[in-house]
Structure 1
Amino acid sequence: MADKNGPAGTGETGPGKQHEATIRDDDLERRRRDLEASLATRRPDKLEGKDDAKAGSVAGYGQALKLSSEFIAGVVVGAGIGWIIDRLAGTTPWGLIVFLLLGFGAGVLNVMRSAGVVSEFGQGEKPRRDQDDRK
Structure 2
Amino acid sequence: MTEPDDADRMKALEERLRKAKGQPEVKHHSESHHSQAQLAWRMVIELVAGLGIGFGIGYGLDALLGTRPLLMVLFIFLGFAAGVKTMMRSAKEMQVEYRAPEGEEGNGDGREH
Both proteins in one fold, TM over 0.5: yes
Taking CA–CA contacts closer than 8 Å with sequence separation of 6 or more, which of the two structures ends up with the larger relative contact order? 2
**Alignment pair present for 1:115 and 2:91:** yes
Could you report, residue by residue, the CA deviation over 1:29-51 in whole angstroms, capped at 9, with x for unpaired residues?
xxxxxxxx9772335x21xx12x
TM-score, length of structure 1 as denominator length: 0.53
| Percent identity (aligned) | 32
**Alignment pair present for 1:99 and 2:75:** yes
Structure 2 spans left out of the alignment, 5+ residues: 1-17, 94-107
Instruction: Specify the SS of the correspondent of 1:91.
Output: coil
Could you report, residue by residue, the CA deviation over 1:44-75 in whole angstroms, capped at 9, with x for unpaired residues?
x21xx12xx01111011101110000000001
Question: Which stretches of structure 1, 4 residues or more, deviate above 4 A after TM superposition?
Answer: none
The structure that has the greater radius of gyration is 1
Which of 63, 82, 90 is the matching residue for 2:39? 63
Structure 1 spans left out of the alignment, 5+ residues: 1-36, 118-123, 126-135
Aligned counterparts of 2:66 and 2:59: Cα–Cα separation in 1? 10
Write the mapping of 1:2-17 to structure 2, written as runs, cut at 5 A: none
